[in-house]
Structure 1
Amino acid sequence: MTHDPMTEQAAAYALNAMSEQERTEFEAHLETCPECQHVLADLQEGAALLGRAEAGDVPELFRRRVLNAIADEPQEPATSVEAAAAVRPPWRTRITGIAAVLVAVMATVAVVAALTGGTTAGDVRTAADAVVVAVAPTPDLTAEVDGTFTYSETESASVLTLAGLPAVGDDATYQLWFVGEVIEASATFTPGDGNAVEVVIDRTPGDAGLIGITVEPSGGSLQPTTPILITAELDA
């Protein structure tokens, strides 16, 4: 076995989507491949994270997209076990549909933590005083971006979740702003390959009336240098 094509097999293993023969063969490979052991650990963590979505650890926005992707997988007509075994391609070249979805999720969700105190996105979302507001693109952004901004005073933290975010160049970044009587700079972030991002911020909006997101030079700016592309009005 070569190492290059093993990510999909590791995902299939993490989701228990292998036959006994495939599982045995993959486990034999795992014994001598630290790289695949590391990949498998990450994928098992991702699978467990999706399973804990009801506890608030995974944004519903991402969970919904995963479920939709699974539902969109083409279904093969029912056939006998013998016939299926005869036509089923070897696991070295087969990319199991659901496993491929998990691999996509792992590549899609870029989690950016700006916290120093260990508060998680789940902590903020499940807080009794959590406030959730929808974000929306401004006319300056033509992409169909959706998401939420959640904050909790008891947790002293906020979570920004976005999907459909266009990629930016290596010399640019998205930046969050709290807009009130003054404009305060906050976290910078870039989307993953699937154009989704989750940012945990170690503060709440305070007196800000809205949040705004702009594209800034890499490293961020002290004040916005481009028009606001995404915004959300905050509860007073």
Structure 2
Amino acid sequence: MTDHDHALSGAYAVDALDADERARFEAHLTTCADCRAEVDSLREAAALLGADDVVAPPPSLRDDILAGIDRIRPLPPVTGTVTPLRRRHRLPLLMSAAAAVVLLLGVGLAWLRPWHDEQPARLTAAERILAAPDATRLEKSFPDGSRATVVLSRSEGKALIRTKAMALAPAGKAYELWLQTPAGVMEPAGLMPDQPDTTYVLKGDATDATGIGITVEPDGGSPQPTSAPIALFALDS
């Protein structure tokens, strides 16, 4: 294998070799760990670029690529056996194409990676409620010392409940949550996790809710409350 054969990794990674060149290079890959690593790296970079959302590249990207091609060190001329005419003309084109691919991937990743690193982590539904500018909090303490706090964001259309040292529901029972509509109807909003300390986002649209209730219901919940609420949080309209 010559230096020119080593340089085919870029063209191989983007499937730019003919059948003979591909077969020869794949035979070389079985004995050359450096070329295998380079091909894997180029394919990984290409996959990363393809997996990202389509965004407009910066105006400087084209100029950076063209300027970088001018700086690429050319390989020494082929010596020894004369290469057939078709391949002799094709090889420099492959070298240039492979160099352009490597440079493009490098510039593209250098541009994309910082952009992604600076992206804020996606917030959970609970985090969006807590961070909302209009988030309001209502807290209730129970005789046994446990506490429950409701946080509502009408802009998010959601509410959550946080419990601290909450006594577990009786055996065969569950705490069910309810959203009260302006008409006074209690709509089921999910079952609280059977844990003393928990954060739970209520199901349903809380945009127009006038209250949030907690009742003790049979395991699995009920379509309508079957007992008086152990807590009812009145929400401002």
Shorter-chain TM band: 0.3 to 0.5
Higher RCO (CA 8 Å, separation ≥ 6 residues): 1
Q: TM-score, normalised by structure 1?
A: 0.43
Larger Rg: 2
